[in-house]
Amino acid sequence: MSDDATGRGLSRNLTSYGDRDFSVYLRRSFAASMGYSRQALDRPIVGIANSASGFNNCHRHFPELIEAVKRGVLMGGGLPVEFPTISLGEVFLNPTSLKFRNLMAMDTEEMIRAQPMDAVVLVGGCDKTVPAQLMGAASADLPAVQLVAGPMMTSRHGTERLGACTDCRRFWAKYRAGEISAGQIAEIEARLATTAGTCAVMGTASTMACIAETLGMALPGTAAIPAVHADRLRAAEASGLAAARMIDNPIRPSQVITERSVENALRVLLALGGSTNAVIHLTAIAGRLGIRIPLARLNQLSDETPVLVNLKPVGQHYMEDFFFAGGVGAVLRELRPLLHLDTLTVTGETLGERLARDPGWVDRSVIASAEAPLEPRGGLVALFGNLAPRGAILKRSAADPRLFEHEGRAVVFSSLDDLARRVDDPELDIGPDDIMVLQNAGPRSESGMPEAGYLPIPRKLAARGVKDMIRISDARMSGTAFGTIVLHVAPEAAIGGPLALVRTGDRIRLSVREKRLDLLVDEAELARRRAEWTSTVIPPERRRGYDRLYAEHVLQADEGCDFGFLLPPA
């Protein structure tokens, strides 16, 4: 960081010409060309990181939201200056948005660091954007407030309520099973996502919004406000004001994101029955400040933290119901005895102080009490064993308990292409008790760890009414999906992890009770297969640009899939 980072407003982070006064003079002159008065340019600056894009439906209301942020900054005596970063629209990116999360984090960090601003409001929402912004802000360590997009409203199809994207999958599964027609699926396609905002269920975006609020980086009460609700605009105004207030009383991300607030966030993730992706993202955010999240610790917290929130994909309701039921505040109140109450929020308040002034409203049909939870233990569990020495994740709250203790025959797909080619082949040798295994879909694979872990039930089994099977991969799963799906197997197949050694016909044993995932093949045979294994991935030296940077530096799932060089020096 240059010495100029200690300056204020426009004279912060000066362009280097070897003459400081000239740099200030030139910058003021060029800024004045945008119509600013000298009085405006003398104010401290709050940057507004805008991740809107024509390729991001979830952020389509950002112009209005950012106007409200600007109003708040002006009320606090600052000058609001909006700047663009890249945007990651979940369904618009190939091969998968996760591959670009670190690119957006680098963009966010470097633009916060390089441009003249004293504080920043991060405006994001769609799955990878909030983690990217928090990772970047943690590394830049300038006072920052996270403002999220807010969830979409639900829609209707006949008498049924629809919300992206659990219902996208539910109806697609019905279509695959021949239960609904091509005409009906086309009608549903037009009704699944009808307003601005992020997916309407407790998927990755909503989980990360709740995590941002629990960490203390977003204002209290703001995570669940629907995107189109007037309160969302008031939250934007308040976020701008809070950022402006932090200029004279700086609270840095490193004071907010601590081991204790990260543990609170993990508790909330578990109580929400939140997205498996959030484990990767929270690990990456915490990692930027040197905080580790061992998966064994996740299991300890999971055993002590009840599931409280009855939202899809696990439960019944949608994000708008969660908002009206009391939102994150109501969940935090229930978890109070388990939380660290001395953690700081960007308002300067501690979590304990926030809860002391909490209004106390809750709708018990959506948010259960700690005394009568939906499940006594958390929604996520980490599995270890010879198939996942560094761990794997199962969302047990979204899985079929009848499969929790199961031994079955492996049916292996060596890649996503292999899966697409064979899964619906009527000749595929597979039964409902078999275990589907997908290899080469982890972070180092060419596919960049897509949300492909929700392997489709083979069409011939789906047509027989099979709704769930054990599916194992080094891929991820959408936060809106459900099933007995083991994900994030580490180390992954593409670097020769044990997953690469599985063959069709092997026996695999899953035990949720023992938190184990084992390949029942003797060690001598595994050693023989290991000696024969060769990588199918294109090596980094035959790639270029960001693809090469990614291939050289991406870490495994248990390390948050960040780039090693973005972690703080040891």
Q: Using CB under 6 A as the criterion, which residues of the chain lie in contact with ligand FES when the complex forms?
A: 58, 90-91, 126-127, 165, 198-199, 203, 205
Identify which of residues 328 and 462 has a Cβ nearer to ligand FES in the complex: 328
Q: Within 10 Å of residue 39's Cβ, how many Cβ atoms?
A: 8
Q: How far is the CB of 321 from ligand FES (least distance, A)?
A: 17
Identify which of residues 162 and 351 has a Cβ nearer to ligand FES in the complex: 162
Q: How far is the CB of 475 from ligand FES (least distance, A)?
A: 17
Q: How far is the CB of 88 from ligand FES (least distance, A)?
A: 9
Identify which of residues 58 and 270 has a Cβ nearer to ligand FES in the complex: 58
In 110-173, the DSSP E strands lie at: 119-124, 144-148, 155-157, 160-162
The rounded distance, in Å, linking the Cα atoms of 271 and 147 is: 22
Q: How far is the CB of 220 from ligand FES (least distance, A)?
A: 22
Q: How far is the CB of 199 from ligand FES (least distance, A)?
A: 3
527 and 419 Cβ atoms separated by less than 8 Å: no
Identify which of residues 58 and 419 has a Cβ nearer to ligand FES in the complex: 58
Identify which of residues 129 and 302 has a Cβ nearer to ligand FES in the complex: 129
Identify which of residues 49 and 481 has a Cβ nearer to ligand FES in the complex: 481
Identify which of residues 46 and 205 has a Cβ nearer to ligand FES in the complex: 205
Identify which of residues 154 and 261 has a Cβ nearer to ligand FES in the complex: 154
391 and 383 Cβ atoms separated by less than 8 Å: yes
Helix axes 259-272 and 327-335, enclosed angle (nearest 10): 110
Q: How far is the CB of 281 from ligand FES (least distance, A)?
A: 13
346 and 251 Cβ atoms separated by less than 8 Å: yes
Identify which of residues 95 and 540 has a Cβ nearer to ligand FES in the complex: 95
The rounded distance, in Å, linking the Cα atoms of 231 and 164 is: 22
Strands 405-413 and 471-473: unpaired
Query: How remote is the C-alpha of 50 from its chain's centroid?
Result: 18
Q: How far is the CB of 366 from ligand FES (least distance, A)?
A: 20
Question: Can you read off the two tokens belonging to residue 368?
Answer: 């259960």
The rounded distance, in Å, linking the Cα atoms of 465 and 209 is: 36
Give the CB-side neighbour count of residue 363, counting CA atoms within 13 A.
13
Query: How remote is the C-alpha of 313 from its chain's centroid?
Result: 15
Q: How far is the CB of 226 from ligand FES (least distance, A)?
A: 13
Which neighbouring-strand residues pair with 175?
none
Identity of the amino acid at 210: C
Q: How far is the CB of 453 from ligand FES (least distance, A)?
A: 17
Identify which of residues 86 and 91 has a Cβ nearer to ligand FES in the complex: 91
Identify which of residues 53 and 261 has a Cβ nearer to ligand FES in the complex: 53
The rounded distance, in Å, linking the Cα atoms of 216 and 231 is: 19
The rounded distance, in Å, linking the Cα atoms of 395 and 381 is: 6
Q: For residue 418, which of 465, 473, 495, 464 has the smallest C-alpha distance?
A: 473
> CA torsion sign, 177 to 182 to 184 to 189?
positive
In 417-522, the DSSP E strands lie at: 435-438, 471-473, 485-487, 507-511, 516-519
Question: Can you read off the two tokens belonging to residue 246?
Answer: 């932090």
Give the CB-side neighbour count of residue 352, counting CA atoms within 13 A.
8
Identify which of residues 112 and 209 has a Cβ nearer to ligand FES in the complex: 209
The rounded distance, in Å, linking the Cα atoms of 104 and 518 is: 37
Q: How far is the CB of 160 from ligand FES (least distance, A)?
A: 20
Question: Can you read off the two tokens belonging to residue 209?
Answer: 């919004």
Q: How far is the CB of 59 from ligand FES (least distance, A)?
A: 8
Q: How far is the CB of 451 from ligand FES (least distance, A)?
A: 11
453 and 463 Cβ atoms separated by less than 8 Å: no
